[in-house]
Chains A and B, each alone.
Chain A
Amino acid sequence: MTTTIADRRIEDAGLEAGIARLTPEKIQKTIQAVLAGEGGARLKTYVETCVRCGMCAQACHYYMSHKDPSYAPVAKVRQTMWEILKHKGLVSPEFIHQCAQIAYTECNLCRRCMHYCPLGIDTAYIMSFVRRICHKLGVTPQYIQDTAHSHSATMNQMWVKDDEWIDTLKWQEDEARDEMPSLRIPLEVEGADFMYSVIAPEPKFRTQLIYQAAFIFNQAGVNWTMPATPGWDNSNMAMFTGDMEIMGRIEMAHFATAQRLRVKRIVMGECGHAFRAIYDVANRWLGWGMHPVPVVHSIEFFWELLNSGKIQMAKKYPGPVTIHDPCNVIRGRGLMDKLREVVHAICDGVVEMTPNREHNYCCCAGGGVINCGPPFKNVRIVGNSIKAEQLKATGVKTCIAPCHNCHGGLDDIIHKYGLGMELKFLGDIIYECMEKKGAS
């Protein structure tokens, strides 16, 4: 069935309050300023070069699940950017609501469509541009805006207070010392080989992940540290709201912390969007060609630990398992081979999904979509029945997904479609099945 964004308007406190403050004239003024300041040859080429062939439709899990052409990548651009440009920015507040709903909640910026468009049109970039405009207009979904506020006030995503952070690490260290008496979570060690950084949900409600990582690093005998100051959170929701200024501040704090500690590298937990922020987006926005401190995702780090023999598996995790390739570290960093090598080293029996690797379907949580909260949850879950089918077709009961966002998104569809699958991080399995020589 063909609908348009107007047929599926969703009420959201942030969006409603935002558009209530706007008039077409105000909108035009802001849009023209954004276009003049930030719109360049990329935007122009993409909009002009697109031959409207519709080949990209099948790339998008929203389209494949809803089977509604208004969810195709090019259709999202048609309902937002083309209209904005056609009217030179003179559009109604209600239209801006539609733009925000599409750009924030119906596109995960997963970049799968670039594998379908012969002209290489970056729909994710265009959607980010629309988000930038919406941010400048103050029209952002309430839930994700709250996380951006938190970043702005605390430099982390979840309003974790400075002392809570340290307390949490100490608490996890204490807990883990029951299992491995010599275990330390080294804070503020200057000159360590690497700084380990995590996303704020870990200290907030997934402390087990910090415990596991500490256990693995201690067992491996590596020289590591965590910061005791703000700058420890590697997540970056401002990148997704279109707030580049705060995005830059967060990343500046993160890199500055690593440089203050004079570490050789930053190793990041199993998160995709955080990796995108640090590896691909915010570093460049700050003017670095690549990174002032090398950035390594857990997949790669675990691969190193296993290959160098620093950790050994006491047993293999009983499979069969399947592998979900998170967009931001696969299409975003090409870690698909290392991910497979790690999984094969720690699990028995791997059943691949189809399509997989760079062609994998998105979890439909990323790009800030899950962070837009309950109002948009249903579209996101119904919008990913294709992923549910893909999971189901593997016939296995365990899915490894080395990304926080993917866990959120996949968890939702596993419940909705009754798949009865269990989700695992690499760290979960390594911790469970590794040789624990240091343990008491």
Chain B
Amino acid sequence: MLELYALAVGPLAWLAFGVFVIGSLARLFSMYSLAKKKDAAFLSYMTWRYSLRSIFHWLIPFGSLGWRENPALTVVTYVFHICLFLVPIFLMSHIVMWDTSFGFTYAALPDGLADGLTVAVMVACLFFAWRRLSLPEVRFVTSTHDWLVLVLVFSTFSTGFLAYHQIGDSLTLTTLHILCGEAMLIAIPFTRLSHMLFGFFSRGYIGSEFGGVRRAKDW
């Protein structure tokens, strides 16, 4: 187990971050090339002003019709996504690892708070799972892929949580947590989680069409 742990925090961690960063850039670049090649006539309507205007309205909770009409999901998804970035970046145990590897640190979230936010993410995942099972319109379009990405996020947070609370074998769980986290990072550019990369562009494009051509709002 110790060897696996060493592998996970060493080479695999490099691999995961490498694939995440390079993979994301490569996917963005290749999509941009494809857009230039096949959708140039539409790309030319994209403007910063209207892209950002639309993204801005959609970043505000309840700032758009879609959010207002789905209030529960709106609250949950904001909490979920904010914590998704906040917790791993500002978690003491994570910062400690940056420190031991590269010798730099920064302000951390209090452990208790981070722990609470972790629970929030797990509850959000359960809420998403509940929607997928019980809301007919979500169930109708759900496939294995959607479950896979949800399970990836949930496992990363739940194993981290268990490891932190030293429930079960600490080394095993920490190792498992790290492997899950790495799998999730690797999955971002290549699965539906790529909405993190492309979502801003699809929103921006529609925002530009609505703002620049159709002169109407799209939120």
Residue-wise, chain A 97-137 has the 8 Å CB interface mask toward B (1 for contact) of 00000000000000000111111111000000000000000
Q: Once bound together, how far apart are the Cα atoms of A359 and B66, in whole Å?
A: 10
Q: Once bound together, how far apart are the Cα atoms of A116 and B69, in whole Å?
A: 8
Q: Which of B116-147 contact A (CB under 8 A)?
A: 131, 135-143, 146
Q: Is B73 an interface residue (CB 8 A)?
A: yes
Please tell me if the beta carbons of B44 and A289 are within 8 angstroms of each other in the complex.
yes
Please tell me if the beta carbons of A334 and B216 are within 8 angstroms of each other in the complex.
yes
Chain A residues near B199: list those with CB within 8 A: 49, 118-120
Q: How large is the interface on A (under 10, 10 to 19, 20 to 34, 35 or more residues)?
A: 35 or more
Chain A residues near B54: list those with CB within 8 A: 120
Q: Once bound together, how far apart are the Cα atoms of A154 and B217, in whole Å?
A: 37
Q: Which of A42, A70, A115 contacts B42 (CB 8 A)?
A: A42
Please tell me if the beta carbons of A45 and B64 are within 8 angstroms of each other in the complex.
no
Known contacts A54-B131, A118-B58, A358-B217, A42 near B205 by CB under 8 Å = yes
Q: Once bound together, how far apart are the Cα atoms of A35 and B126, in whole Å?
A: 38
Chain B residues near A284: list those with CB within 8 A: 41
Please tell me if the beta carbons of A75 and B140 are within 8 angstroms of each other in the complex.
yes
Chain A residues near B202: list those with CB within 8 A: 45-46, 49, 119-122
Most B CB atoms within 10 A — which of A69, A290, A330? A69
Known contacts A69-B136, A115-B219, A284-B41, A55 near B70 by CB under 8 Å = yes
Number of B interface residues in the complex (CB < 8 A): 50
Q: Once bound together, how far apart are the Cα atoms of A54 and B66, in whole Å?
A: 11
Known contacts A52-B138, A78-B141, A118-B66, A40 near B35 by CB under 8 Å = yes
Q: Once bound together, how far apart are the Cα atoms of A69 and B137, in whole Å?
A: 4
Most B CB atoms within 10 A — which of A119, A121, A280, A358? A119
Please tell me if the beta carbons of A52 and B141 are within 8 angstroms of each other in the complex.
yes
Chain B residues near A336: list those with CB within 8 A: 216
Please tell me if the beta carbons of A72 and B140 are within 8 angstroms of each other in the complex.
yes
Please tell me if the beta carbons of B215 and A48 are within 8 angstroms of each other in the complex.
no
Q: Which of B73, B137, B139 contacts A63 (CB 8 A)?
A: B137
Residue-wise, chain B 137-159 has the 8 Å CB interface mask toward A (1 for contact) of 11111110010000000000000
Q: Is B165 an interface residue (CB 8 A)?
A: no
Q: Once bound together, how far apart are the Cα atoms of A78 and B131, in whole Å?
A: 18
Please tell me if the beta carbons of A359 and B65 are within 8 angstroms of each other in the complex.
yes
B141 to chain A, nearest CB (A): 5
- A332's nearest neighbour on chain B, judged by CB, is B214
Q: Is B53 an interface residue (CB 8 A)?
A: no
Please tell me if the beta carbons of B131 and A119 are within 8 angstroms of each other in the complex.
no
A256 to chain B, nearest CB (A): 21
Q: Which of A39, A51, A56 contacts B38 (CB 8 A)?
A: A39
- B213's nearest neighbour on chain A, judged by CB, is A280
Q: Is B49 an interface residue (CB 8 A)?
A: no
Q: Is B99 an interface residue (CB 8 A)?
A: no
Chain A residues near B143: list those with CB within 8 A: 52
Chain B residues near A158: list those with CB within 8 A: none
Q: Which of B41, B141, B194, B210 contacts A48 (CB 8 A)?
A: B194
Q: Which of A52, A355, A358 contacts B142 (CB 8 A)?
A: A52
Q: Once bound together, how far apart are the Cα atoms of A121 and B201, in whole Å?
A: 10
Q: Once bound together, how far apart are the Cα atoms of A110 and B143, in whole Å?
A: 27
Q: Once bound together, how far apart are the Cα atoms of A336 and B214, in whole Å?
A: 12
Q: Which of A78, A118, A120 contacts B67 (CB 8 A)?
A: A118
Q: Which of A67-114 contact B (CB under 8 A)?
A: 69-70, 72, 74-75, 78, 114
- A285's nearest neighbour on chain B, judged by CB, is B41
Q: Once bound together, how far apart are the Cα atoms of A188 and B141, in whole Å?
A: 55
Chain A residues near B94: list those with CB within 8 A: none
Residue-wise, chain B 32-64 has the 8 Å CB interface mask toward A (1 for contact) of 101101110110100000000010001000001
A78 to chain B, nearest CB (A): 5
- A334's nearest neighbour on chain B, judged by CB, is B215
Name 11 A/B residue pairs within 8 A (Cβ), A-sorted. A2-B140, A49-B192, A51-B195, A52-B146, A75-B140, A117-B66, A118-B58, A120-B203, A120-B204, A121-B206, A334-B215
Pairs A-B, 9 closest by C-beta atoms = A40-B38, A334-B215, A41-B35, A120-B203, A120-B206, A116-B66, A54-B138, A57-B137, A334-B216
Extra contacts, 18 of them, besides A49-B202, A78-B141, A358-B218 (Cβ < 8 A), are A2-B140, A40-B37, A42-B42, A45-B31, A49-B194, A49-B199, A51-B146, A52-B138, A53-B73, A55-B70, A75-B137, A116-B66, A116-B70, A119-B203, A120-B199, A331-B214, A332-B216, A334-B215
